[in-house]
A = this chain, B = another copy of it.
Amino acid sequence: MKEDHVDRILGQWRTERPDLDVEPMGLLGRLARLATYLGREVEKTFLELGLTSASFDVLAALRRSGAPYQLSPGDLLATMMITSGTMTNRIDQLEKAGLVERLTNPEDRRSVLIALKPEGLDLVERAVTAHVANQHRLTAFLEPDERVAFDAILRKYLLALE
């Protein structure tokens, strides 16, 4: 099988540190590299619409929650692997861009509701359509049966870790 970038790294380690079993480094190295590449490809689609993966994630969470497209920062936080400070910043940017607004939550005044504005709703509808089309393109590198096997392993691995 053709040697790739990660194989060369493993070969160097096997020469320099033959005491180490670097087998797992191949899998984890490829996984990290692949995720970075795919993440950048995904980002390109959002950039064309004036979004980033980060801002899309917030808009998408609001959109898929269903009408009236409102969630608290805490709700949003629960679905993403970021800190509360980062979420505050993301919401600030989206608010500045006129895509969402902060509403006071009458039921709990510690809390806030982030609501999709019509401009945000319109944008995220177009963004998710383009994003899904792009995802089809990016997964087309694998055969259908490979995708099924891949997804099954990813799911198992994630469940074991989470």
Nearest B residue to A161, CB-CB: B37
Inter-chain contact B150/A4, CB cutoff 8 Å: no
Inter-chain contact B38/A32, CB cutoff 8 Å: yes
Sorting the interface of chain A by its residue count into under 10, 10 to 19, 20 to 34 or 35 or more gives 35 or more
- Residues of B near A41 (CB, < 8 A) are 161
Inter-chain contact A142/B158, CB cutoff 8 Å: no
Bound Cα distance A42, B27 (Å):
13
For the complex formed by this chain, how many copies does it contain in all?
2
Task: Tell me the minimal C-beta distance from A131 to chain B in angstroms.
Answer: 8
Residue A54 lies at the interface, judged by CB distance under 8 Å to chain B: no
Residue in A33, A63, A64, A128 with the greatest tally of chain B CB atoms within 10 Å: A64
Nearest B residue to A125, CB-CB: B17
Nearest B residue to A13, CB-CB: B64
A–B pairs, 30, beta carbons within 8 Å: A1-B155, A4-B162, A6-B158, A13-B64, A15-B66, A16-B64, A21-B132, A22-B132, A24-B135, A24-B138, A24-B147, A25-B132, A26-B151, A27-B154, A28-B38, A28-B135, A28-B139, A30-B154, A31-B31, A31-B34, A34-B35, A34-B154, A34-B157, A34-B158, A37-B81, A37-B161, A146-B153, A150-B150, A150-B153, A153-B153
